[in-house]
Amino acid sequence: YRDSAYHTWLACTHYLRGVRDVYNYLTVTDNRLLSVLPSSQFTTIPHRAPAPAPAMALAMKRAAATAVRAISSANSASILTRQLHASAEKKKIVGVFYKAHEYAEMNPNFLGCAENALGIRNWLESQGHEYIVTDDKEGPDCELEKHISDMHVLITTPFHPAYVTAERIKKAKNLQLLLTAGIGSDHVDLQAAAAAGLTVAEVTGSNVVSVAEDELMRILILVRNFLPGHHQVISGDWNVAGIAYRAYDLEGKTVGTVGCGRIGRLLLQRLKPFGCNLLYHDRIKMDQELENQIGAKFEEDLDKMLPKWYSGDVWYPQPAPKDHPWRYMPNQAMTPHISGTTIDAQLRYAAGVKDMLENYFKGEDFPAQHYIVKEGELASQYR
């Protein structure tokens, strides 16, 4: 877990507390009921799970902040910085995306796969740049390894990430720019990237709506106990009781977000008409006007937001192996990191990557919020 993973988790985790009922879930009767819930509350993390317990999360946050400071100061004395070239030099750009096979041609806007490669091949090649695209990213003999030594730019997504380790950075003598088509830099060793003077950037904001919608869906799926019912249908069963004994309305419940950044706010906004008691926890309380607008109250005590149910989307490593224990957790609604790769998000992050490449070729700056590391310096929001 790196700092950005933690922040994403912070922004995306949620907490649900029933206020009407006393829940006495005492027995595990199928693999979907979690455990004893001893109090009149139930909680869920509908995203980025299993997440660290709040106390651990706070410790992680402190550790991450320390690490970030260390990188920042170490970096000011960096031996090597690589300025982004403003020259008309032809660049070698490598894109690592998931292969879509038969799905690639099914939707012209399905830009995030290796075959469609963000829809920028013709544009890049018409300018004389080389554009290598692969999904083969692991191990010493993979396709990616063949291009590491001479690539200038590496583009990847959080959904099928090229892991950029210190070792790979060391080999990548020409590398200047690491772009995330989407949001996140968990796959990059940021300390090594900063020390090597690289620039790391993402398309900030490109999937906040996608993820906020996804959150609300997962809250509803867990609270309303949707999955066991659907599984009964497709497996030939019929047992209303096995669903209804722990299916709830969302109305009237307490829902809190741990973190209230852009995703948290979009989520709370969407929760408003559900008639819930909305809470948020964050490092800083919002001003009263914004609180009123969002309709959520500040909850200072993070320990009141203990998660019990899980629904997450982000894994390590990705793809997750068949025996990854999260696959077989009880009472979950996990998916294979898809929440931020809707077609709409793909259109946004493909456009964002193209814009940044255009800036890069011209030697211009990116939009400030997209930077994670700028020419070896951590972006201000990470300091």
By CB under 8 A, the residues from 320 to 339 that bind its own copies are 320, 322, 326-328, 333-339
The contact mask relative to its own copies for 275-304 (x = CB under 8 A, - = no) is x-----------------------------
Comparing CB distances to its own copies, the nearer of 120 and 209 is 209
The contact mask relative to its own copies for 240-279 (x = CB under 8 A, - = no) is xxxxxxxxxxxxx----------------xx-xxxx----
Does residue 166 contact residue 192 with C-beta atoms inside 8 Å? yes
Within the chain, residue ranges assigned H as helices are 3-12, 54-76, 121-126, 143-148, 166-171, 190-195, 208-223, 226-235, 241-244, 262-271, 288-294, 343-362
The contact mask relative to its own copies for 93-122 (x = CB under 8 A, - = no) is -----xxxxxxxxxxxxx-xx---------
Stretch that binds its own copies, among 126-134, 172-180, 230-238, 297-305 (CB under 8 A): 230-238
Comparing CB distances to its own copies, the nearer of 85 and 99 is 99
118: left (phi over 0), alpha (psi -120 to 50) or beta: left
The verdict on whether omega for the bond into residue 108 sits within 30 degrees of 0, i.e. cis, is: no
Can you tell me whether residue 278 is helix, strand or coil? strand
The contact mask relative to its own copies for 43-82 (x = CB under 8 A, - = no) is ----------------------------------------
Does residue 24 contact residue 5 with C-beta atoms inside 8 Å? no
Burial class (CB in 10 A: 0-12, 13-18, 19+), 233: exposed
**Minimum CB separation from its own copies for residue 18, in Å?**
9
Report the C-alpha gap between 360 and 379 in whole angstroms. Answer: 17
Positions 355 through 374 that interact with its own copies (CB under 8 A): none
Comparing CB distances to its own copies, the nearer of 52 and 242 is 242
# of chain residues touching its own copies (CB under 8 A): 87
